[in-house]
Amino acid sequence: MHTLHTTEAFILDSYEHGETSRVYKLFTKEKGMLFAHGQGVREVKNKNRYALRTHALMEVTLVRGREVWRITSAREKTADAPQEFRNVLHFIGSIIPREVSERELFIDLAALQEVMHSMPHVHDVAERIGVLRGMMLLGYVDKNEVPVSCAGMFAYGTYTPELCDAVAQEYAVFAQFVNMLFSRV
């Protein structure tokens, strides 16, 4: 008998597999990044067809087969994500290792998505903060490298208006630093 694993997950990407299925690239709270098959989700009668949307925060139930993870059920937890949040997910999805738990990063991304829904005027700044925090949590950036003017942004899981305003005031320095980091990856 297989064990069911229910967890929160962001759907980073998906692609067609066979006639009726899709493979989903998930970033889960407990298991980290993994690929899971959605068997028959392209069929009109499938219960998960409309629930499994790219860039959405979901509650998914997974089962580990002999070779692959399979999605047995899914429930959407948030509405559509703004483009800046999709950019952060795409970037993090391209640098995160497979099946390594990154719980702190997941919590930070969930907080980022929440602030982008509640404060649309800070999308650009929050996007840069999310990218930098993600790179730091994955070990690509050392805290000591961050410019002093931006050092106050490391309380993971919190995106306050004050933080976004402080980074916005130093946006040129912050943007230059983040862009320099992109050249490393």
DSSP-H helix ranges across the chain:
83-95, 103-118, 123-137, 161-169, 171-182
Q: H or E stretch including 14?
A: strand 4-17
Residue 92 has pLDDT above 70, yes or no: yes
Tens digits of residue pLDDT in 102-146: 888 999 999 888 888 888 888 888 888 888 888 888 888 777 777
Q: What share of the chain is helix, strand, coil (3-state, %, to 5)?
A: 40, 25, 35
Q: What is the pLDDT of residue 88?
A: 92
Question: Which regions of the chain carry the CATH code 2.40.50.140?
Answer: 4-76
- Topology of domain 4-76 in CATH is OB fold (Dihydrolipoamide Acetyltransferase, E2P) (2.40.50)
Model pTM score: 0.83
Task: Identify the pLDDT of residue 185.
Answer: 60
Mean of pLDDT values over 52-59: 83
d(CA 45, CA 110): 31
pLDDT bucket at 25, cuts 50 / 70 / 90: very high
